[in-house]
């Protein structure tokens, strides 16, 4: 029993000495680690700036429609050739001869700005490019109806 206790105490003592000797190296590694963490955060911010996907964003529904009959938008956003872009598709799934609508706004230092309203009976695809580097986000809402006055979704915001 005494040998086991001495072995455990000796191992603990050796472990503390090893940790104490390794501490200065660990501090140097921590400083390097902080620099790599900062670089990692910068790389993550740049990766987020490179883009991603969004949607589907479904229209609101009324008059007994279910999700299978709702209009929607989905797409990608990112940076290409130094310019921000949004590439999206607007779909009308029920083919009931009511338009599918999508409102597109962008955001800059002065707030939200209306860009364009899109509509289709079936499928619409577009890619929007923005030269202004001050644009930091965009948002959509999707609706369905014979006029643009009903069945709107809520706003969905995304950032560059």
pLDDT tens for each residue of 26-47 = 444 444 444 444 444 444 444 4
- Our count of domains for the chain comes to 1
pLDDT score at 136: 87
CA distances from 102 to 19, 47, 84 (A): 62, 28, 20
**Cα 44 from Cα 80, distance rounded (Å):** 17
Q: Is residue 140 part of a domain?
A: yes
pTM exceeds 0.75 for this model: no
Q: Is residue 90 part of a domain?
A: yes
Give the domain extent around 133. 52-159
pLDDT band, very low/low/confident/very high, at 1 (cuts 50, 70, 90): very low
Q: Is residue 75 part of a domain?
A: yes
């Amino acid at each position: 029993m005494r040998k086991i206790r001495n072995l455990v105490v000796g191992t603990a003592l050796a472990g503390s000495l090893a940790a104490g000797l390794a501490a200065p190296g660990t501090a140097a590694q921590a400083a390097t680690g902080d620099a790599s963490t900062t670089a990692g955060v910068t790389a993550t911010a740049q990766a987020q700036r490179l883009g991603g996907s969004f949607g589907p964003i479904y229209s609101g529904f009324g008059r007994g429609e279910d999700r299978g009959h709702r209009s929607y938008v989905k797409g990608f956003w990112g940076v290409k050739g130094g310019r921000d872009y949004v590439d999206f598709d607007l779909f009308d799934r029920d083919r009931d001869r009511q338009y599918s609508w999508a409102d597109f706004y962008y955001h800059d230092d002065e707030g939200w700005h209306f860009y364009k309203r899109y509509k289709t009976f079936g499928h619409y695809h577009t890619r929007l490019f923005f030269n202004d580097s001050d644009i930091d986000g965009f948002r959509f809402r999707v609706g369905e109806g014979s006029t643009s006055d009903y069945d709107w979704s809520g706003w969905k915001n995304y950032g560059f």
